Amino acid sequence: MSSPATVMTIDGLMPLTDLEIYDLVKYEDNARTVVTVYRDKTGKIVKKDAWACILRPLPFTVEGGQIG
């Protein structure tokens, strides 16, 4: 019988089956962020991953001046 999959948390390795896991997705001005929250059975956050996808690049315009 295989043991349940585990994940490293601030309290060490914990079985995924002992955790409540959910994602929070936010759209900001410059980025979309996805946060995965892991809570133990007491509701304490024991792990929180985040991904931020940069949506808005930094363009800068190169202008040519007028002669005369």
Please give the residue ranges that form the binding site for other proteins (CB under 8 A): 8-10, 26, 28-31, 33, 35, 45-55, 57-64, 66
Nearest CB to other proteins, comparing residues 4 and 68: 68
Confirm if 35 and 48 have CB atoms less than 8 A apart.
Answer: yes
Nearest CB to other proteins, comparing residues 1 and 29: 29
- Report the sign of the C-alpha dihedral through residues 10, 13, 18, 23, in that order: positive
CA-closest candidate to residue 6, choices 44, 33, 40, 35: 40
Least distance to other proteins, CB of residue 2, Å: 24
